[in-house]
Every structure is written in C-alpha cells, then in structure tokens.
Amino acid sequence: MAKLNFGGSEENVVTREEFPLSKAQDVLKDEVVAVIGYGVQGPGQALNQKDNGINVIVGQRKGTKTWDKAVADGFVPGETLFEIEEALERGTVICYLLSDAAQIALWPTVKKHLTPGKALYFSHGFGITFNEQTGIIPPADVDVFLVAPKGSGTSLRRMFLQGRGLNSSYAIFQDATGKAFDRVIALGIAVGSGYLFETNFKKEVYSDLTGERGTLMGCIQGIFAAQYDVLRANGHSPSEAFNETVEELTQSLMPLVAENGMDWMYANCSTTAQRGALDWWKKFRDATKPVFEDLYKSVATGVESQRSIDSNSQPDYREKLDAELKELRDSEIWQAGKTVRSLRPENQVVEA
C-alpha cells in the first residue's frame, strides 16, 4: 500500500502497479464470484471480472429482462448464469449489487447462504451503515467489505474497454478469515479500478448520498435549470440557453477540467471569463454551502436513507418514478438538449 499526498493530507491508496492483475488473479483463483443483481453496477462489474479471467457467475431471476440481458452479454444459463439461490450457494464471494430496497427484501435468502469463510461484497455502504433500518447484519464468520467505483456501471465498463480505469474506494467492515484485505483489493482490481483509496462503510455512504443529491446530480440539475430559466426569461432562445448552460460545460470545459484541474481551466480561459469566474465563484460557494450542510445532516441522521427505503419499497414505486422522470425528460431544457445533441457532428449521418 502506498501513501500519497492529497492536497497536504497523506492517504493510503493501492495502485495497479503494486497490485497488478496477475496478483488479483492469483488471490481469486479458487473463488467463485457470484454477482447478485444485473441492473446498474452488475453488468459492468461482472463483465470486467469475466474479461479479467475471474471465475464469475451471475444470479438473476429467470424470465426477467435482466436475465435476458445477462444471456445477451455472454453468460450461459446453467454454466455461468443461475437462479439467485443457486448462485448464492455456488458463490464463495457474494457481490451484493441489487438496489438498496431490493437488498433489504432479499437479505433473509442471502444470509442463509453465508456459510463460514465466504465473503459478502458491496459497492455501497448503505445496507451495513443503516442496519437498524435495513436489517442487514452479516454473520460474524464471513468477510464483509466493499469496492465502490466512483461512477456508473456503464462508465466502469466503457473505461475498461478503453484500457482505462475508474477510481474506487474500498473498505473492510469485517475480516473473519484474515484474508479480507487481499480479497477486497483483488476484486477492486478485477472490476477495473484505476486506483483504490481507503474509506469505511459509514464515510462511503455519507459521501455517496451527499454527492448524488449534490454536485453529481441533484445540485447540478438545479443549477442548470436556474441558469437556463434566467436566460429564457431574458429573451434568449432555447438553443442559446442550452448551449451556454449545458453543452459548453459538458462538451468543452469539463473534459479539460478532468484532464488538468479547475485551476488550469481558470488560467487558460479568456481574461473576461477569468475575471468573472474569480469574482463569482465564492458567491456561489457561500450561497450553496448552507444547503450542503443541511443535506449532509439529513444523510448523517438517517433521514435520507429512511426516505429512500420508504419510497423505493412502495408497490407503485415504478409508476411514480416514471412520472417524475417524465417531468424531467419533457422539460424544455432537456427537450432542447435532445435536439442539440442530435446536431453534434458525430451524430450526423453523412452521405457518401
């Protein structure tokens, strides 16, 4: 494990240089990794492990769309694709990648297959951290750990196929076998992590829930909508408002920030943009910080987790979700965005 300086703080990280794929393959050579859930994280993690030579199987309910997707992705019924209970029985490492609400519902089934020496793997600290709400309390004789890629399963797979890696956090909640560290790092490398940084279950879920509701999705959509609405209210066309609010940020600036950092971006834009950004960024920080403080408190006190459990466990959850997503999808900003995206050169059909 290496210690690296992050802005003046030393942190433990594991890189692919010190823990290469060959080492991960050796650690996992006698394991059967059962991926339970083939929705958001499941496909990317399962396929990356499969391509990396890990003995991985998938557990899904036969006759579902996700079962069919696993078949289309190359998992073979009766060989590498099984009903959930059979996969749980066969697996020595259980990758529990269902949604948080589904994890609660399936937990009694999973628990009875957690025999001594097995490992329970998460990609989110939710179930363990909020166990008073979820009821997920593993037996004492199994390893419990997590690898949490910092992005969607789609991004994890895409970057893997590009020869890149998505950074992941890792945490060990329970080391029953004395092998939990090697197991979790090997799995982190096998799923395609760029590097792995150390955390714990509580910090992972607190930062994750804050990030999803904040700058990753909730806050950024709110900021997009606010700027777009102000431009439209002042007579700007939908095309102009969308391009100045979203397209320039996502297509031009954010890739540069990802490569070089925001400090570089500030130093390499026009002097007019530079002056305005320097004058206004602290105002936006001060305006939004109280909202983030409220958000973090809501996460830390279990309000957000209970809200998720209560909402996502309702029998009509999907119908209500579809209605909320339709409102977002049908809004002018994202309808304008659909047209803007279609006009990108890479999306144009060029006649020979």
194 and 272 both lie in a single domain:
no
Binding-site entries: 208, 212, 244, 248, 270
In this structure, are 170 and 36 located in the same domain?
yes
Looking at 153, 168, 199, the residue that finishes a domain is 199
Q: Do 161 and 65 share a structural domain?
A: yes
Do residues 154 and 283 share a domain?
Answer: no
CATH of the domain at 234: 1.10.1040.10
Own/partner contacts of 321-327, CB < 8 Å, gap of 24 or more, are none
pLDDT digits (tens, 9 = 90+) for 319-348: 999 999 999 999 999 999 999 999 988 887
Beta bridge partners of 198: 170
Query: What CATH number is attached to the domain comprising 66?
Result: 3.40.50.720
Residue 156 within any structural domain of the chain: yes
Q: Judge whether 164 and 194 are in contact, CB under 8 Å.
A: yes
What pLDDT is attached to residue 2? 81
The verdict on residue 207 lying in a domain is: no
pLDDT digits (tens, 9 = 90+) for 117-172: 999 999 999 999 999 999 999 999 999 999 999 988 899 999 999 999 899 999 99
| Residue 152 sits in the same domain as residue 10 | yes
**Does residue 255 share a domain with residue 137?**
no
For 230-246, what is each residue's pLDDT tens digit?
A: 999 999 999 999 999 99
Judge if 319 and 194 occupy the same domain. no
Binding residues for substrate: 270
**Domain range for 41:** 2-199
Q: CB neighbours of 13 closer than 8 A, spacing ≥ 6? A: 1, 2, 3, 4, 195, 196, 197, 198
The CA–CA distances, whole Å, from 110 to 309, 316, 336, 342 equal 19, 25, 45, 45
Which residues are known to be catalytic?
A: 124
CB atoms within 10 A of CB 143: 24
pLDDT > 60? residue 309: yes
206, part of any domain: no
Same domain flag for 88 and 117: yes
The alpha-helical segments, DSSP class H, found in the chain are: 21-27, 42-51, 65-72, 84-90, 100-112, 126-129, 131-134, 153-161, 180-190, 201-213, 218-233, 238-242, 254-260, 262-267, 271-300, 303-312, 317-330, 332-342
228 assigned to some structural domain: yes
- Of 199, 224, 239, the position where a domain reaches its end is 199
Q: Are residues 155 and 73 in the same domain?
A: yes
In a domain, 205, yes or no: no
Could you list the residues known to form a binding site for Mg(2+), using ranges: 208, 212, 244, 248
Nearest-5° Cα angle at 203, 163 to 14: 35
Whole-number pLDDT of residue 350: 62
Same-domain pairing of 193 and 325: no
In-domain check, residue 153: yes
Percent of the chain with pLDDT over 70: 99
| pTM for the structure as a whole | 0.89
Residues 19 and 149 in one domain: yes
Regarding whether 163 and 124 lie in a shared domain, the answer is yes
In a domain, 111, yes or no: yes
Give the residue from 143, 173, 199 where a domain finishes.
199
Q: What is the pLDDT of residues 39-68, one digit of tens each?
A: 889 999 999 999 999 999 999 999 999 999
Token pair listed for 337: 């965005």
DSSP category for residue 64: S
Give the count of domains, the chain.
2
